Structure 1
Amino acid sequence: MESDDTIEKAVIVGGGLAGLTAAYELKRAGIAARIFDKDDKIGQTWLDRHPQLSLNTHRSVSHLPRLEYPRGTPAFPRRTDVAVHLQEFARRHDLSVEHGVTVSDIRRTDDCFTMQINAASVRARNVVIATGRDRYPVMPILQGGDGYRGLLIHSSQFGDAKQYEGKRVLVIGGGNSGFDVLNHLSRVRPAQTWVSVRSGSTILPKRLHGIAVHRLSPLVAALPSKVADVSIALTQFLAFGSLADTGLPAAHKGAATRLSNEQIAIPVDDGAIRSIRDGRTKVVSEVLGFSGDMVSLADGTSIDPEIIIAATGYGAGLGSLIPALDGTEGVSIRQSNAYEGLWFVGMTPGLISYFHNVRRESRQIAIAIRARRYRQFT
């Protein structure tokens, strides 16, 4: 057996929000961890997103442990604010990230894990996967899509909203990322915007009578799910009245229950609903496929967008990291004795914020790893 000097106590895969928080909690528990990240610098994933991006969660519950945002930061921090926040956190707590490292082929071997990092091999007692739920974009497979001569992109490629002025734009998906795109399009002047929605969701306003609604999220999160469902639905009604006139499908499940059971985030409105009611955005039925440059819809009609933005979500892509998890998100496997020492952080959304969930999960992981170390030496 190899000596403990050649086996890391813990390795964290991912040096973003989740990875840094996990490293911080492990360090507080007396456990040194190596942090591997594929990007060139901390916060690069945020900086690579479109320039209009900001958090949908309020800054008061969207910060790293023991670090507030500087005075003057918007209520909903921008992507650059978040990137600087992560960099400052790593500096203050002396968290060293090894950049430009691609991790793959994580396998259980004997009493530890083996993984490939670039051209080398590393062994570790514990591996924390902190690569997030949105590691790769999910694109829909649409009949006839190969023949479409317009521009078909994923919402992750949205870019500057100004480029869509004067264009006919179809957004596929009315979930969280779909509403993010629609909110930004509502501030420019496309020739026409359509949104194709397959199922309904409860929608929260970013602000209600000038108040940032999300500031109340800790109170809502403390409620039983069914009560939280009613609270969120009531907030939607107070903000928008009945949405029956918009063409948006009614929600068939409560927002809090859906978030908890299906990990589907709640869409946030910041101009999209007004755009729909003003006629600048038209709600259409599900996209079936393409016929030349025309897009065929489930209700038998067709539209002719120049640009299609697929707001169809993301995947964690765990199979490319851990071959044993290929074909599954694999989060529940962290409880399996066969994979003791394999941990996941930042894979589930929550009512309060991603930051809040990650802090709670990281604390739990640090406690469990410390207990596991104690068992190994007793």
Structure 2
Amino acid sequence: MKKYEAVIIGGGQAGLAMGYFLKKEKLSFVIIEKNGHVGDSWRQRYNSLVLFTTRQYSSLPGLQMRGPSEGFPAKDDMADYLNDYVKHFDLPVMLNTNVIQLNKLPDGPFIIETNSGIVKAQQVIIAAGAFQKPYIPPLIKDGTDAFQLHSSEYRSPEEVPGGEVLIVGGGNSGAQLAVELAKDRKVTIAARHRMKFLPLTILGKSIFYWLEKLGLLFAGTDTIKGSWFQKQKDPIFGKELKTLIQNKKVDVKPKVLQVSGTEVLFGDGIQRNFESIIWSTGFVPSYEWIHIEGVVSAEGKPIHKRGITEIKGLYFIGLPWQYQRGSALICGVGRDAEYLASIVLSGKFQQLRK
């Protein structure tokens, strides 16, 4: 049985940022990662994926990503960078390790059951990421004959059968897939809300540079700017899809109400047939492995304030809007990690004084 002062569950960007600050404070800790290599979650995403944040805004604390700061990294660049980050700071990572259960002894340590054995920790930081269980809404009636997959399973256009494709979901992933697939076939995208487009750059600078200058990117939810920003619908970064829609290369429909066979019923009452459907409908939390009361709500969402739970020594990091717009983004997670590290460190000192 291995024992640590702190255990970080998840070796993605949030977990590594947390590890960076704990390493600076010389805490005894380990990062538990389910994949065989750090960065594998990025490598497993669709082949053409390019981040909408420039390298300047795609780096973690202490180490700038190699390459032009105003350039946009691809998914494999991100995976390589995370690997480099671990090596550069010599962060302790347990690879190929799945967490089966998380428990806590009364007035005692946390017990983490993994496929590699039991791990004990005085404090635990859950950095499992915002994208956990793919979500497909219950809209299919009496089955479907259409080829379908969730956007998280999509890799390239070659695996999607020919003919018209329906993409359900008007977020950034759905927009990027629509642009790629529209190169050689008819694409329809169904969105619940009117899509708002923002340019990737303005005057040669990343849109995130300007959001930061306006005091919006890192504004906390307890501020006027942060509260206002949180209420806004997420925009689509880049205007390629907007151009395709204007040129009638991509059709836009309202939300999908029902799918039956190959027939799809939309919110405007129109019915159309599609050979293929890609569900770009996001993810839902998956915390069934946490066996501690008061950590997760009835809706399955973490109960926390700035990542701090009501359970002493248990924290979350990397959640959307955990405290600011950048909380689930590479550019902003380090700020939350630095804040939580100070809380974790104070917990260590409290234990030493006992």
TM-score range, shorter chain: 0.7 to 0.9
Alignment partner of 1:199 is 2:193: yes
**Aligned runs of 1:121-160 on 2, under 5 Å?**
121-144=118-141, 146-160=142-156
User: Structure 2 length normalisation: TM-score?
Assistant: 0.87
Task: From 342, 346, 349, give the equivalent of 1:367.
Answer: 342
Gaps of 5+ in 2: 220-224
Aligned match of 2:26: 30
Q: CA deviation at 1:203?
A: 2.4
Please list, as runs of the form range in 1=range in 2, the aligned pairs for 1:22-171 lying within 5 A after superposition.
22-71=18-67, 75-110=71-106, 111-118=108-115, 120-144=117-141, 146-164=142-160, 166-171=162-167
Distance in 1 (alpha carbons) for counterparts of 2:166 and 2:174: 10
The aligned counterpart of 2:302 is: 330
| Equivalent position amino acid for 2:200 in 1 | K
CA-to-aligned-CA distance 1:119-155 (integer Å, 9 cap, x gap): 52222110011110101211111141x5211111111
| Structure 2: distance between partners of 1:283 and 1:256 | 31
Would you say how many aligned residue pairs link Structure 1 and Structure 2?
A: 340
AA at the equivalent of 1:364: Y
Task: Call closer, same or farther: CA 1:54–1:103 in 2, change over 3 Å.
Answer: same
Contact map agreement 2:20 2:89 (CA 8 A) in 1: yes
Instruction: Report if aligned partners of 2:218, 2:325 keep a CA contact under 8 Å in 1.
Output: no
User: 2:100 is aligned with what amino acid?
Assistant: S
Q: Is the 8 A contact 1:138 1:315 kept in 2?
A: yes
Q: Which residue of 1 aligns with 2:222?
A: none
Distance 1:77 1:6 in 2: 37
- Look up the match of 1:217: 211
Structure 1 segments unaligned to the other structure (5+ residues): 226-254
Q: What letter matches 1:376 in structure 2?
A: Q
The reply to whether residue 344 of structure 1 matches residue 328 of structure 2 is no
Matched with 2:230 is 260
Instruction: Flag the 1:112–1:50 CA change in 2: closer, same or farther, 3 A.
Output: same
**Contact 1:183-1:270 at 8 Å conserved across structures:** no
Match of 1:274 in 2: 243
Q: TM-score, normalised by structure 1?
A: 0.82
Verify: 1:295 aligned to 2:264, yes or no. Answer: yes
RMSD value, Cα? 2.7
Q: More helix by proportion, 1 or 2?
A: 1
Give the structure 2 partner of residue 230 of structure 1.
none
| Secondary structure of 2:51's aligned partner | coil
Task: Quote how far apart the aligned CAs of 1:196 are.
Answer: 1.0
In the aligned structure 1, how far is the partner of 2:6 from the partner of 2:292?
20
Aligned to 1:284: 253
**Percent of matched pairs sharing the same residue:** 26
Pairwise CA distance, 1:103: 0.6
Cα offset for 1:323? 5.5
Task: Please tell me whether the aligned partners of residues 103 and 321 of structure 1 are also in contact (alpha carbons under 8 angstroms).
Answer: no
Alignment check: 8 A CA contact 2:2 2:118 kept: no
Q: Mean alpha-carbon deviation: is it higher for 148-157 or for 112-121?
A: 112-121
Deviates more, 1:315-324 or 1:152-161: 315-324
